[in-house]
Amino acid sequence: MIARGEIGFPICSLASRPGPFSAYLSGEPSAQDGSNSIFLVVTWANMLCTIIGPFIVGVLVRRLKALAKRAW
C-alpha cells in the first residue's frame, strides 16, 4: 500500500499532539524531544513513500505486463 502525503501528513501532525506519542514516552523527562523525533521519522517515512512509491509501483506494473505478454 502506498502512503499518500495529503492524508499522511495531517494524520502525522495530529498524532504528534499530546496523545499517542506522549503516552508512549510518559516516563521520560524529555518526552517532548522523543515526540519530536518520532514525528520526524514518521514524516520522513511518509515523504519517501509518497515520492518513491508510485515510481516503484509503475516499474512493477510494466514488469508484470512484460511477463504476461511473454507468457502468451
Instruction: Report how far residue 14's alpha carbon sits from residue 31's, in angstroms, rounded to the nearest whole number.
Output: 17
Q: 51 lies in which domain range? A: 5-71
Mean pLDDT check: name the lowest of 1-5, 40-44, 48-52, 62-66.
1-5
Stretch 48-67: mean pLDDT, rounded? 91
As given in the structure block, the three cell numbers for residue 17 are 499532539
Does the predicted TM-score (pTM) go above 0.75?
Answer: no
Q: How many CA atoms lie within 13 A of 44 on its CB side?
A: 5
**Which of 14, 18, 48, 46 is closest to 34 using CA atoms?**
18
Q: CA angle at residue 26 from 22 to 27, to 5 degrees?
A: 155
Looking at the 3D structure of the chain, how many domains does it have? 1
Q: Is the pLDDT of residue 29 over 60?
A: no
In this prediction, residue 18 carries a pLDDT of 67
